[in-house]
Structure 1
Amino acid sequence: MATEPAAAARRVIDIITGTWQAQALYAAVAISLPDHIAAGHTGTAELADRSGTDRDALTRLLRLLTAMGVCTGSEEAGYGLTEVGELLRGEHPHAMGDMVRLYGEEFHRAWGSVADVVRTGGSGFEHAHGRSLHEHLRDVPGAGAKFQRAMNAGNVFFPGVLDAFDFGRCRRVVDVAGGSGMLLSVVLQAHPQLHGTLFERPFMVPVAREYLDKTVGDDGRYETVGGDLFERVPQGADAYLLSRVLQDWDDERCVRLLANIRAALPPEGRLLILERVIDTSGATILPLLWDLHLLMAAGGRERTLDGYRSVLTAAGLRLESVHSLALETSLLIAARA
């Protein structure tokens, strides 16, 4: 019995220091530490010189990063990168550095307002930055592209969509609010018979066009269309993609955008929704963390399966099936009711 208070205290300490690990990871990316190590600069003095940092402070950061499983080695032997550390290199094909920057800068400040948000509502981003996330992405130069690079870094679950849904029966697919076009690119590359439309806010269209030109090619297989998903979406596709969009909006606006997709959906068409589903038993923590993060970032939310059914039903759609993907993400397939 005597050890129970100590174990509980240790759990509190582990929780409250979690943000320190996140910020240590951010610091490593901010000073390009993984890139310097990958370039062969492994000694502490050399790394301090290359990164323009204080040697003592860097030594202490490297010790923590090694304990966290980001780096290998020691001050005496020199440092290397683990598989985790490799993902932070700028040239890694699945680089996550921009995601770390976004969460270490804008979103870290937003989370500083968590108590205020719980008391009064709203979003942490607005409390901290004086504007909504969507206004920030629209108005701050480079913010939209940075955000999409960060989102792309967390999209390792996209290939699972190809296994869960048969695109072979489709001729046209529309990615609604498709961001940089990464999901549409994955689908088009796997299914050469498809024609794709990426529908996004006008200021994001150039970012998507650049990415799709690079990954799919400028061969007429896709088009980009700017517009407002709360007004209308392109008509008549066999499949509509909606990846991590519902999480940004309240139920009323979700029903409105889903109703617009319902109006465009042919009788045999399908809507593919990628979101995290809250397990009310608490068995999976990542959707619960993301649920509160969305409140901090955009005033949004994750939903339970019943919550998704509710907004789909109100828009004239029915949930047909649910498929588990990586990173505790789910693919929800919906059809016309």
Structure 2
Amino acid sequence: MPDQKAARRVVDIITGTWQAQALYAAVALRIPDHVAAGHTTDEALAERARSDPDGLRRLTRLLTAMDVLEATDTGYRLTATGELLRSDAPHSMSDMVRIYGEEFHRAWGAVVPAVRTGTSGFQHAFGMTLHTYLRDPGAGARFQRAMNAGNVFFPDVLDVFDFGGHHTAVDVAGGSGAFLATVLARHPRLHGILFDQPHMVPVATAHLDAAIGSGRHEVRSGDIFEGVPAGGDVYLLSRVLQDWDDDRCATLLSHIRAVLPANGRLLILERVVPDHGETLLPLLYDLHLLMAAGGRERDLAGYRDLLSAAGLRLESVHGLALETSLLVAAAA
């Protein structure tokens, strides 16, 4: 007879993706939005979602068991988890659920050829790299919204690193500017420079203008592997190194070292692979990065080696939310 506990563990693992796709279905059908608008019964939800009533009821039953919905005498109400899936909610995670349920789900479908070849599952599934795919303005904007939804650890950085003695923060490959805006909002004397590809300039400008106003930031475009703006005394890299191989990372870090003043600091936000696998999330994201972009998470030794090769040294490490870490580096 098979070990029943081990057999149950296998079943729990292989059905895990079903929960993720049920959550995606809830967002795609706008179930949280409809419940928030007062359509709280299965019948009303099926009508609003233009769905088969039986199929919709089976979905809501599962969502209730997953603590997304809560059954009441008159229908359903949203739990705290369900509230995060509303498209209009502060810090909504609906776009994150969509991209994981659509593009990333397809990329993971190519896990076997990705592992065999060491190239991204996304490229196997879509015939192009994720970075090429995101040059489409619609896809790029949706991806940035998805990334922003997972940025709950940004405020933690302000609690563990003192920006008070610095004058200019340069956010390299800063995307929509969410991280830089968080820093500038807390430190009104700090000036900000965001550096990213040309198609991100209007997105970042609009976000920074709305978040902190004009006059305290610049948005510049260019290729991070050809150089980065000088003039900063604190440089920011938020989930950038994870997308690239060691050679590309060494090139980028060398460009930062070339403009980093003696008293400057480089802040790196990444998930660090634990030495003994005691936490699962960094290991999951490590393989996910192979599926999505051909990238990887690294352990501390890997980051020390990258920094050392670029003339930098790891000064300190701070744990943040969602198993993310802040690595503070200085000139060697």
Cα offset, 1:236, TM superposition: 2.4
SS of the counterpart of 2:284? Answer: helix
Which residue of the partner structure matches residue 78 of structure 2? 81
> In structure 2, how many angstroms separate the alpha carbons of the residues matched to 1:211 and 1:24?
31
Asked if residue 189 in structure 1 is aligned to residue 185 in structure 2, the reply is yes
Which residue of the partner structure matches residue 268 of structure 2? 273
Which residue of the partner structure matches residue 9 of structure 1? 7
Which residue of the partner structure matches residue 116 of structure 1? 113
Which residue of the partner structure matches residue 332 of structure 1? 327
1:159-191 deviations in Å (ceiling 9; x for gaps): 011011111101111000001000000000000
Cα offset, 1:119, TM superposition: 1.4
Asked if residue 319 in structure 1 is aligned to residue 317 in structure 2, the reply is no
Which residue of the partner structure matches residue 148 of structure 1? 144
> In structure 2, how many angstroms separate the alpha carbons of the residues matched to 1:43 and 1:59?
9
The 5 Å alignment of 1:175-324 reads 175-218=171-214, 220-324=215-319
Cα offset, 1:116, TM superposition: 1.1
Aligned partner letter, 1:255: A
CA contact (8 A) 2:137 2:199 kept: no
> In structure 2, how many angstroms separate the alpha carbons of the residues matched to 1:45 and 1:31?
14
> In structure 1, how many angstroms separate the alpha carbons of the residues matched to 2:24 and 2:78?
15
- TM-score, with length taken from structure 2: 0.99
Aligned partner letter, 2:50: G
Which residue of the partner structure matches residue 91 of structure 2? 94
Match for residue 56 of structure 1 among 49, 54, 57:
54
SS of the counterpart of 2:220? Answer: strand
SS of the counterpart of 1:65? Answer: helix
Q: Percent identity?
A: 67
SS of the counterpart of 2:34? Answer: helix
Which residue of the partner structure matches residue 137 of structure 1? 134
> In structure 1, how many angstroms separate the alpha carbons of the residues matched to 2:159 and 2:173?
22
Cα offset, 1:121, TM superposition: 1.6
> In structure 1, how many angstroms separate the alpha carbons of the residues matched to 2:147 and 2:70?
27
> In structure 2, how many angstroms separate the alpha carbons of the residues matched to 1:108 and 1:60?
22
Cα offset, 1:77, TM superposition: 3.9
Which residue of the partner structure matches residue 158 of structure 2? 162
- TM-score, with length taken from structure 1: 0.97
Asked if residue 21 in structure 1 is aligned to residue 16 in structure 2, the reply is no
Q: Give the stretch that moved more between structures: 291-300 or 4-13.
A: 4-13
SS of the counterpart of 2:322? Answer: coil
Residue ranges of structure 2 left out of the alignment (5+ in a row): none
Which residue of the partner structure matches residue 37 of structure 1? 35
> In structure 2, how many angstroms separate the alpha carbons of the residues matched to 1:13 and 1:204?
43
1:106-127 deviations in Å (ceiling 9; x for gaps): 0000000001111122000000
Aligned partner letter, 2:218: E
SS of the counterpart of 1:327? Answer: helix
> In structure 2, how many angstroms separate the alpha carbons of the residues matched to 1:178 and 1:80?
37
Q: Number of residue pairs matched? A: 332
Residue ranges of structure 1 left out of the alignment (5+ in a row): none
> In structure 2, how many angstroms separate the alpha carbons of the residues matched to 1:94 and 1:141?
22
> In structure 1, how many angstroms separate the alpha carbons of the residues matched to 2:235 and 2:269?
11
SS of the counterpart of 1:277? Answer: coil
Cα offset, 1:24, TM superposition: 0.2
Aligned partner letter, 1:226: S
